[in-house]
Amino acid sequence: ETQAPLFGKNVLVSAGPTYELLDPVRFIGNFSSGKMGIEIAKSALEMGANVTLVCGPSNISTSGYDLQRINVISALEMQKSMEDNYENADIVIMSAAVADYRPATKAEQKIKKNDENMTIELVKNPDILKGLGEKKTHQILAGFALETNNAMEYAQGKLEKKNLDLIVMNTLQDEEAGFQKDTNKITILPKEGDPISFQAKNKSEVAKDILTFILEKHIL
């Protein structure tokens, strides 16, 4: 029991960026490395869980880890994989940096340049996490919030709007936090109770803090 506190539990984690294709060779994306979500997946595995990792484009390998990794490219693909695995999940942690918009159309062939400027029309992507929150039954649902200002207020708003059990907040004002970094500095805002702030740590230790928090605050 103390060796494997998540034994028998199904943990579903998303990680990485999404790439929204313009044509076969170009995309709109972001600098997420996938590191935070992948560390959560590895920690959950270490704690005895069955782990499904839905991962956007990331160079980080999980070979040698006994988890189910589903690689996806776009937000729409990520949404489908998250929804397909949602019912079976006990704990769901959405740490992917999902693109909020995608090009309205994807060209079949590489787009040719000409002498004019070019305008790209973008359409809104679905909010995957919000959709999961609306369908929540037995799951413990966690999201991330990367904020630059008014961090607590915005994070609290997302916690409520997306029907989450907790949200993990980090701010770009912290040196140790953010994309491509090995460390992170977080505050966890639970649905009920006071926020808890943690020191800056390696992302692997941050992952353990998040999972331990879930274990201690929720009866699984």
The binding site for CTP consists of 100, 110, 126-129, 144, 158, 162
Name the active-site residue from 30, 85, 163, 202. Answer: 30
- Residues between 188 and 217 with contacts to ligand C5P, criterion CB under 6 A: none
Shortest Cβ 185–ligand C5P spacing (Å)? 17
d(CA 96, CA 47): 21
To 10 degrees, the CA torsion angle through 30, 36, 41, 44? -160
How far is residue 134 from each of residues 83, 99, 164, 172, 175, measured CA to CA in Å? 12, 20, 10, 29, 34
**Segment near ligand C5P (CB under 6 A); pick from 5-13, 45-53, 65-73, 126-134:** 126-134
Which of 10, 50, 81, 125 touches ligand C5P (CB under 6 A)?
A: 125
Q: Which C-beta is closer to ligand C5P: that of 48 or that of 131? A: 131
The tokens for 204 are: 């692997």
**Segment near ligand C5P (CB under 6 A); pick from 20-28, 102-110, 125-133, 172-180:** 125-133
- In the annotation, is 30 catalytic? yes
Q: Which C-beta is closer to ligand C5P: that of 47 or that of 75? A: 75
Interface with ligand C5P, residue 45, by CB under 6 A: no
Which of 40, 47, 49, 129 touches ligand C5P (CB under 6 A)?
A: 129
Helix (H, G, I), strand (E, B) or coil at 26: strand
Q: Encode 112-122: b = buried (16+ Cβ within 10 Å), e = exposed.
A: eeeeeeeeeee
Helix (H, G, I), strand (E, B) or coil at 196: strand
Residues with Cβ within 8 Å of residue 115, at least 6 apart in sequence: none
Active site residues: 30
- Interacting residues toward ligand C5P by CB under 6 A: 75, 94, 96, 98, 100, 125, 127-129, 143-145, 158
